[in-house]
Amino acid sequence: MLYKQHSNTGTPLIFVSGLFAGDWMWESTIAHLNKKKKYTIIQMIPPLAALGGTIEVLRERLLDIITVNQQAVVVGNSLGGLLALDIAARWPEHVLAFVVSGAPGMGSVNLGIGLPKKGDKEWFLRLASKLFVDHNRISKDDIERTAIFFSDKRNFINMVRLARNADDYNIKPLLPKIRCPVLLVWVSKTGLLL
């Protein structure tokens, strides 16, 4: 299953998974928004690496979800954020607004941890320490699920391809085409930047 829709009505909010993290990364945010009952919440389930090995393939999968809802607010983290930026620039008629956290596409990103070996939990722990400022936001179960997911050869190959694809992707030429409201969120060791 590609996504699940929560039963509320109102403005569609589409939560896009990241390259490594699946639906678990949005659980607390969606629980909070579900209480408000003013949004239709659509939550992508698998990590993006389950859906294909190129940004073009992922773009089409996400665009299919968005166009079913006509227009939506897209919320994406990491590679999901890059997809939100990309779609907002290319198909502005479908994106009401978007929220992006930690998106690549502004130049090469080297986390200094090398490539993982298939199913290497220690590598995912090092990755989590680089990506999460608050390490309490990721559990050992999350690491375990992620390592198991990437022990699948196809998911692993897609992850490596997408990481390289994202590293080479230049979103800068598309930025002037974005016309909708945007919230860029970055968290550093010194605090939250909006």
Q: Where is average pLDDT lowest: 19-33, 62-76, 104-118?
A: 104-118
- DSSP 8-class letter at 19: S
CATH of domain 3-193: 3.40.50.1820
Tell me what pLDDT residue 194 has: 45
CA quadruple 41, 46, 47, 51: dihedral sign: negative
Question: What pLDDT band is residue 73 in, cutting at 50, 70 and 90?
Answer: very high
CA atoms within 13 A on the CB side of 72: 25
How is the chain split into domains, by residue range?
3-193
Q: CA 9 to CA 139: how far, in whole Å?
A: 31
Give mean pLDDT, residues 160-181. Answer: 85
Mean model confidence pLDDT for the chain: 78
